[in-house]
Structure 1
Amino acid sequence: MSYFSDVDIRKALNKDIVIEPFLPDCLTPIGYDFRVGDFVFSLEKGLLDLVDKYYELPPKSTIQILTMELLWVSPRVGGTFHSKVSLVSKGLSHISTTLDPQWYGRLLITLRNNTDTPIRIKIGETFVTLIFARVRTPTRSPHNKPPLREDILLNQLNQQTDNYIKKITSLLNNKTAEASFEKKVRDANQPMVTKVVSSVRSMDREERLHLVLKGALVSAIMFLAVLNFLWNFIKPLFNGIAYDSKVFAVQVTAIIALISLLVTISKKPS
C-alpha cells in the first residue's frame, strides 16, 4: 500500500477519486481536508442548530458531522482519516476510522469534545484530513455501507425531535446536490478508450489538427530513430544505396529538425 501525494491526488481526480465539490485549497501535501457540512449532531444533545454560521459543540459530548463534500473512490483506493492539529489543540479528538475502496457518498465523521466548555466550529471549516492509499490488489468485496451512513443516522430517528427527522429526510432525498457528483463518477468509470474519444470530440477543429500534427511528428521521429535497423527493407526505395555515414548524417539531421519543430508546436497555445 502506498500513500497519495497532492500530485497523485490531482492525477487520480475523476479517474480513481471523485470529490465534489473539489477545492484546491483543501489539498494537502499528503491528503485532502474535508469540510463541515450542514448536519451536526450530538449524541447527548441531539441535532445542533447553526447560529451565525457556527455550531456550538457541547462539552463532554460525542459529535457526528456529515461532510460538505461527496466522495467516490475506485476499488484501487482506500484511506484513513486523521485529526487536524488546529482542532485537537482546542480539545477536540477525532475517533479514527478507515475509508473502504468503492466508497460513494458523503462522509460521516465522529468527533469528541473532551473539554468542560463548548467549542465552536464553523460550517465550511476543514475539520478532518483523509489520506488516500493505493491498495496492492483492487478489492472485489463491496463495502456494504450505505451512502451518508444511513444505517447510523436512521437508527437514531426514533429518539430525536421532529426537527432532526426533517433534517435527515431532506439530506437523504436531496438528489439535486448529487447530480454533478454522479456524472463525474460515471465518467470516471468509463473505459479509457471512451475517455480519449470523448476528449478528442470536445476539442475544436484547430485543436484536433494540432494534436494530429504532433502525433505525426512523434511517429516520424520514432521511425527515423530505428532507421538503421529497417534500412535493408526500405533501401530499394532509395536505389539500393548502402547505409553509410552520409545516410546516418541525414538521419540525425532529420531527427533534430523534427524534434525542434515538435518543441515549437508544443509551446503554442492550443
Structure 2
Amino acid sequence: MSVLSNVDVEKEILAGNIRIFPFDHSNIKSSSYNLTASKYAWSLKTKEKIVKDKKIIIPPHDTGIIATKEVIWVSKKICGTYHSKVSVVSKGGGHIGTTLDSEWIGHSIIAIHNHTKDDIVIDINDTFISIMFHYLHKPTTVEQHNSASQYSLLSNLVNLTDDDEKYFDESWKNQSKEVLKKVKSEKDFIALSAKNKNPYISTGKVVFYTIFGLIILSSLYFQTQLNKESFLYTVATWTTGVGFSGVLVPIIHSIYTNLK
C-alpha cells in the first residue's frame, strides 16, 4: 500500500477511480485532498444542529458530527485515511482516526471532539479535514454494503429533519456512475482534463511507425519487381499481409485515439 501524491490523485480522478463532487482542484495538496465543512452538523450530546450564521459551533467538551460537502467514491484498488488539519487541532479539536474503504460512496461523516472550555468555530465551506488516498497492493474482494454516507448510522446518532433526510438520501449519492457524471461537469475537472490531454503522437511513436510503414511500402514495391516463384517474393508478401494488420491498423487507430 502506498500514498498517492498530487500527480497520482489527478491521474486517478481523470481515470474515474477517485470521484469527488464538488471537485475543487485547489484542494489537492502534495499527498492529500482537503474536504470542506457542509451546513449539516450536530452535537453528539444534544443531537441537535450546531450551525449558526454560516458557522459550525462545537460546544465545550462536546463532539461535533459534521458532514463533508463533498461526496466521494473510490474504486476497488484505492482506500483512504482521514487526518486532522492543524487549523482545527490548534483550537482544541480532537485528532481524527478513521478510514475510507474501497467503493465507499457518499458524504464523509466526521466526529470532532472539543477538548477545551471554549467553543470551537468552523466556517461552513472552509476545509477542516484532509484525506490521504492509498493504492492497495491487490484490489479488494470485500464488497461495500454500507448505506451511502452511512445514513442509517447518522440517523441513530442525531435528530434529522425531513430536509436532512432528503439531502442525504438523494438518489445520485448512491450511484457511482451518477457521481462521475457530476464530476465531469465540474469546471475544475474539465480544465484538468484539457491540461492533461495530449493531441499529438509522441516522437517515439512517430519514428517507430514511420520505419515500419516504410518496410510495408518497400515490400509492396518489391512484390512488383520479383519473380513470384522466388523466396524474396514470399517474404515480401508475408510482410505486407501481416504488416498491414499488425502495423498499419495500429497506426490508424493510434492517430484516431490521439487526435479525437
TM-score calculated relative to the size of structure 2:
0.70
Q: Does 1:79 align with 2:65?
A: no
Deviations 1:20-45 (A, max 9, x none): 01001211110100011121111113
Count of residue correspondences: 213
Residue 3 of structure 1 is matched in structure 2 by: 3
Partner Cα distance (1:23, 1:66) in 2:
17
Q: What is the CA-CA distance between 1:186 and the residue it aligns to?
A: 6.7
2:208: which partner in 1?
222
Per-residue deviation, 1:51: 1.8
1:46-65 alignment runs, 5 A limit: 46-65=47-66
Amino acid at match of 2:10: R
User: Which residue in the other structure is 1:93 paired with?
Assistant: 94
Gaps of 5+ in 1: 189-210, 241-269
Q: Which amino acid aligns with 2:168?
A: L
Separation in structure 2 between the aligned mates of residue 173 and residue 140 of structure 1, nearest angstrom: 27
* Structure-1 residue corresponding to 2:162: 166
**Aligned mate of 1:183, from 178, 186, 194:** 178
What is the match of residue 187 of structure 2?
Answer: none
The aligned runs of 1:29-178 (5 Å cut-off) are 29-156=30-157, 160=159, 164-175=160-171, 178=173
- Shift in Å, 1:3: 1.0
Give distance in 2, aligned partners of 1:119 and 1:187: 33
Give the corresponding residue for 1:197.
Answer: none
**2:222 maps to which residue?**
236
Aligned CA RMSD, in angstroms, stands at 3.5
Match of 2:18 in 1: 17
How far apart are residue 107 of structure 1 and its match?
Answer: 0.7
> Structure 1 236/182 Cα, relative in aligned 2: closer, same or farther at 3 Å?
closer
Deviation for aligned residue 1:18: 0.5
Residues 89, 220 of structure 1: CA spacing in aligned structure 2 closer, same or farther, 3 A cutoff? closer
1:99-145 per-position Cα deviation (integer Å, ceiling 9, x unaligned):
10001111111111110111111111111100001101111211322
C-alpha distance in 1, partners of 2:220/2:44?
A: 79
Tell whether the 8 Å contact from 1:57 to 1:118 is kept in structure 2 after alignment: yes
8 Å CA contact 2:73, 2:104 repeated in 1: yes
CA deviations on 1:62-102 (whole Å, 9 max, x unpaired) are 12111000000000100111110111111101330111000
**Are the structure 2 counterparts of residues 237 and 128 from structure 1 closer, same or farther at C-alpha, using a change threshold of 3 Å?**
same
C-alpha distance in 1 between matches for 2:204 and 2:98? 48
For structure 2, which runs of at least 5 residues remain unmatched after alignment?
184-198, 227-259
Partner Cα separation in structure 2 for residue 187 and residue 53 of structure 1? 25
TM-score when scaled to structure 1? 0.68
